[in-house]
């Protein structure tokens, strides 16, 4: 027999104990021969008596040991215990899981235990009456009504035949097929036959038919509509397209019919769902504003989506740098309509009119330093404060300040000729340091600039101190021409040639 060490109460391994001693102790306290029933290996030989004679057997591992404490049984026990533990944990975990996966009518995604609002609290139950309040879950073609019993919080089915008394809230007779999913009815069964003796729409149940703008607050188990708050319970019936849904699936843009009593909602049925609008490249627009059907809205910060009810809508997009962009869209349920602003043209600056009545021709006009066509007396200029300069060679420069807006601005401009002055005799030393530059152009009538300062229209002559100068000529229809000139004598000429 093998030797084994076992833990004592202090979790320490004590003295070595032979396994056959353990077996002997077991036999003293039991009428069952454990060795006969629990040995592994070859079958036991029949015993002649019930003494302590040990049956002969072979050990598969070729060593000593065996009995109920053999290593094989210990391993199997450990493995079996682990399997049982895993199974128990899996069952508990699965039973605690919830969620809605598109259940059909008849399943119960909204029977939430964490919702303490109970519809049955607002219903008066007459113990002597067989009538119950119920929500219609399905109107079967075989005239079987599938219902949720609000009093007993249970599903039920009843057959509606020719003997059933069907009436609306005004006690007017109706047809079986006038009933709809989500209707609240009072049902009375005919004994235990499963046949309804009466199905009536109660007058104490209110109904908000085909409304939009209802907000479902799943954190407080409330439905808010038209500034009024209603509670819903774990047994409130929510559905869409024949299937029960999670309350949070209902969007504010959905069209829904809500029924209930007092402040409690019994059912909410979505009649038409919603789609989405996505604005792409909206970052291109400065101060973007989104208007849908006359109401300003914003995109969801996380998804970028805008929920809209199914149907036709007018989307108007405005911004500081674009003209109003208007799009007509037709949204179907669950559809995404993308509006791309990448190709939207940027808004041009608003312009006003400056009307100049100039007494000469061939003048040059600068507005805030920008040259305008000298052949046109009517200028289109961006709104704002401007400085106007009108000039011509041989004439005094005319300037004015103006504010350009929607109203045209008009000026009578009178350019005065510069009087020819007789040359003044200067000391010889001064004459040596100053000369004249005469600039021609081909073609003529070009605007001439020296060191960036406008001089006049070619041909033009100007007196300057000796030195190096940069000349630029501008002529409409030609590229600008630049050249350098050094004035080192009394007179200097230069000709600017414009190439076609």
- How far apart are the C-alpha atoms of 100 and 111, rounded to whole Å? 11
User: With 50 as the cut, is the pLDDT of residue 374 above it?
Assistant: yes
Residue 234 lies in a domain: yes
Instruction: Specify the number of domains making up the chain.
Output: 5
- How far apart are the C-alpha atoms of 250 and 273, rounded to whole Å? 8
Do residues 79 and 93 make contact, with C-beta atoms less than 8 angstroms apart? no
User: With 50 as the cut, is the pLDDT of residue 317 above it?
Assistant: yes
Residue 420 lies in a domain: no
CATH number, domain containing residue 493: 2.60.40
- How far apart are the C-alpha atoms of 338 and 329, rounded to whole Å? 10
User: With 60 as the cut, is the pLDDT of residue 247 above it?
Assistant: yes
- At which residue do the structure tokens 């040596």 appear? 432
Q: What angle do CA 139, 145, 149 make, to 5 degrees?
A: 120
- Asked if residue 228 and residue 113 are part of one domain, the reply reads yes
- Asked if residue 255 and residue 122 are part of one domain, the reply reads yes
Give the lowest-confidence range in 9-13, 254-258, 302-306. 9-13
CATH number, domain containing residue 124: 2.40.50.320
Question: Side-chain half-sphere of 221: how many Cα atoms within 13 Å?
Answer: 20
The pLDDT score that the predictor gives to residue 58 is 40
CA distances from 464 to 409, 417, 467, 483 (A): 38, 21, 8, 17
Confidence of residue 14 (pLDDT cuts 50, 70, 90): very low
Mean pLDDT of 288-292: 94
Q: Is 268 exposed, middle or buried (0-12, 13-18, 19+ CB in 10 A)?
A: buried
User: With 80 as the cut, is the pLDDT of residue 191 above it?
Assistant: yes
- Asked if residue 408 and residue 289 are part of one domain, the reply reads no
User: With 60 as the cut, is the pLDDT of residue 39 above it?
Assistant: no
Among 233, 144, 131, residue whose Cα is nearest residue 185: 131
User: With 80 as the cut, is the pLDDT of residue 93 above it?
Assistant: no
User: With 80 as the cut, is the pLDDT of residue 389 above it?
Assistant: yes
Do residues 179 and 185 make contact, with C-beta atoms less than 8 angstroms apart? yes
Contact residues for 130 (Cβ-Cβ < 8 A; gap 6+): 188, 189
The pLDDT score that the predictor gives to residue 426 is 52
- Asked if residue 406 and residue 290 are part of one domain, the reply reads no
- How far apart are the C-alpha atoms of 218 and 32, rounded to whole Å? 64
**Sheet strand arrangement including 467-474:** 453-457, 447-450, 467-474, 481-487
Residue 490 lies in a domain: yes
Token pair recorded at residue 278:
């996505």
Q: Which domain holds residue 312?
A: 274-340
Work out the mean pLDDT of the chain and round it to a whole number.
79
- Asked if residue 335 and residue 235 are part of one domain, the reply reads no
The pLDDT score that the predictor gives to residue 135 is 96
> Of residues 159 and 61, which shows the higher confidence score?
159
Contact residues for 30 (Cβ-Cβ < 8 A; gap 6+): none
Q: Does an H or E element contain 359, and which?
A: none
- Asked if residue 268 and residue 365 are part of one domain, the reply reads no
Confidence of residue 43 (pLDDT cuts 50, 70, 90): very low
Last residue of a domain, one of 232, 253, 272: 272
Q: What angle do CA 291, 292, 297 make, to 5 degrees?
A: 60
- Asked if residue 243 and residue 158 are part of one domain, the reply reads yes
Measure CA 247 to chain center. 19
- Asked if residue 256 and residue 113 are part of one domain, the reply reads yes
pLDDT digits (tens, 9 = 90+) for 448-500: 999 989 989 888 999 999 999 999 999 888 889 999 999 888 888 888 898 86
Residue 156 lies in a domain: yes
> Of residues 3 and 244, which shows the higher confidence score?
244
- Asked if residue 109 and residue 255 are part of one domain, the reply reads yes
Residue positions counted in the chain: 500
The pLDDT score that the predictor gives to residue 55 is 40
Give the lowest-confidence range in 73-87, 209-223, 388-402. 73-87
Residue 88 lies in a domain: no
DSSP 290-330: EEETTEEE---TTT-EEEEESEEEEEEEEETTEEEEEEEEE
**Percentage of residues of the chain with pLDDT beyond 90:** 41
Residue 87 lies in a domain: no
3-state DSSP assignment of residue 95: helix
- Alpha helix positions (H), 359-478: 428-432
- Asked if residue 62 and residue 12 are part of one domain, the reply reads yes
Token pair recorded at residue 498:
């414009």
Q: Which long-range contacts (CB under 8 A, 24 or more apart) does 215-218 make?
A: 215/252, 216/247, 216/248, 216/250, 216/268, 218/247, 218/248
User: With 90 as the cut, is the pLDDT of residue 187 above it?
Assistant: yes
- Asked if residue 393 and residue 365 are part of one domain, the reply reads yes
CATH number, domain containing residue 389: 2.60.40.1120
pLDDT digits (tens, 9 = 90+) for 131-165: 999 999 999 999 999 999 998 889 999 999 999 99
Residue 422 lies in a domain: no
Last residue of a domain, one of 340, 360, 387: 340
- How far apart are the C-alpha atoms of 319 and 282, rounded to whole Å? 10
Biggest alpha carbon–alpha carbon distance for the chain: 161
CA distances from 131 to 136, 152, 157, 283 (A): 15, 11, 14, 61
Contact residues for 227 (Cβ-Cβ < 8 A; gap 6+): none
Q: What angle do CA 453, 456, 461 make, to 5 degrees?
A: 100
- How far apart are the C-alpha atoms of 50 and 442, rounded to whole Å? 140
Give the lowest-confidence range in 241-255, 353-367, 407-421, 461-475. 407-421
- How far apart are the C-alpha atoms of 58 and 63, rounded to whole Å? 9
User: With 60 as the cut, is the pLDDT of residue 19 above it?
Assistant: no
What is the DSSP pairing of strand 228-240 with strand 264-272?
Answer: parallel
Last residue of a domain, one of 340, 359, 390: 340
Residue 22 DSSP one-character state: H
The pLDDT score that the predictor gives to residue 431 is 53
pLDDT digits (tens, 9 = 90+) for 331-342: 988 899 999 998
Confidence of residue 90 (pLDDT cuts 50, 70, 90): low
Question: 282 phi and psi, to 5 degrees?
Answer: -70, -20
Residue 346 lies in a domain: no
pLDDT digits (tens, 9 = 90+) for 197-220: 999 999 999 999 999 999 999 999
User: With 60 as the cut, is the pLDDT of residue 425 above it?
Assistant: no
- Asked if residue 229 and residue 112 are part of one domain, the reply reads yes
Highest mean pLDDT among 72-86, 128-142, 421-435: 128-142
The pLDDT score that the predictor gives to residue 327 is 92
Please state, as a whole number, how many other Cβ atoms lie within 10 Å of the Cβ of residue 418.
Answer: 10
């Amino acid at each position: 027999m093998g030797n084994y060490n076992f833990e004592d109460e202090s979790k320490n391994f004590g003295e070595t104990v032979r396994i056959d001693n353990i077996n002997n102790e077991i036999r003293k306290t039991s009428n069952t021969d454990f060795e006969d029933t629990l040995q592994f290996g070859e079958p036991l030989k029949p015993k002649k008596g019930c003494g302590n004679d040990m049956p002969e057997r072979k050990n598969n591992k070729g060593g000593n040991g065996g009995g109920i404490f053999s290593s094989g049984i210990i391993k199997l026990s450990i493995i079996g215990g682990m399997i049982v533990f895993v199974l128990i944990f899996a069952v508990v975990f699965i039973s605690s899981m919830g969620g809605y996966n598109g259940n059909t009518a008849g399943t119960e995604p909204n029977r939430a235990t964490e919702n303490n609002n109970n519809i049955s609290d607002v219903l008066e139950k007459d113990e002597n009456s067989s009538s119950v309040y119920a929500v219609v879950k399905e109107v079967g073609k075989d005239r079987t009504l599938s219902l949720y019993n609000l009093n007993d919080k249970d599903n039920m089915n009843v057959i509606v035949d020719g003997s059933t008394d069907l009436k609306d809230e005004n006690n007017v007779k109706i047809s079986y097929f006038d009933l709809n999913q989500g209707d609240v009815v009072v049902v009375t069964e005919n004994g235990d036959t499963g046949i309804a003796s009466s199905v009536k729409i109660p007058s104490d149940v209110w109904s908000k038919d085909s409304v939009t703008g209802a907000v479902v607050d799943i954190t407080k188990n409330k439905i808010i509509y038209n500034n009024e708050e209603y509670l819903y319970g774990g047994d409130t019936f929510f559905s869409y397209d024949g299937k029960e849904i999670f309350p949070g699936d209902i969007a504010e843009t959905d069209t829904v019919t809500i029924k209930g009593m007092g402040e409690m909602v019994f059912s909410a049925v979505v009649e038409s769902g919603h789609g989405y609008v996505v604005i792409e490249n909206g970052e291109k627009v400065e101060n973007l504003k989104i208007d849908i059907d006359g109401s300003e809205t914003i995109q969801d910060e996380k998804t970028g989506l805008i929920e809209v009810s199914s149907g036709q809508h007018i989307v108007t997009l405005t911004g500081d740098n674009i003209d109003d962009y208007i799009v007509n869209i037709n949204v179907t349920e669950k559809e995404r309509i993308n509006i791309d602003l990448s190709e939207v043209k940027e808004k041009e600056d608003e312009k006003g009119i400056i009307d100049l009545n100039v007494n000469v021709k061939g003048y040059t006009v600068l507005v805030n330093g920008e040259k305008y066509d000298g052949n046109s007396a009517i200028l289109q200029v961006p709104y704002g404060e401007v400085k106007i300069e009108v000039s011509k060679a041989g004439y005094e420069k005319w300037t004015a300040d103006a504010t350009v807006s929607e109203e045209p601005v008009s000026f009578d401009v009178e350019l005065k000729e510069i009087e020819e002055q007789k040359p003044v005799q200067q000391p010889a030393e001064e004459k040596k340091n100053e000369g004249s530059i005469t600039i021609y152009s081909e073609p003529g009538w070009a605007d001439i600039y020296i060191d960036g300062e406008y001089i006049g229209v070619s041909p033009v002559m100007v007196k300057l101190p000796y030195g190096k100068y940069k000349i630029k000529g501008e002529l409409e229809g030609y590229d600008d021409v630049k050249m350098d000139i050094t004035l080192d004598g009394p007179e200097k000429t230069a000709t600017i040639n414009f190439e076609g």
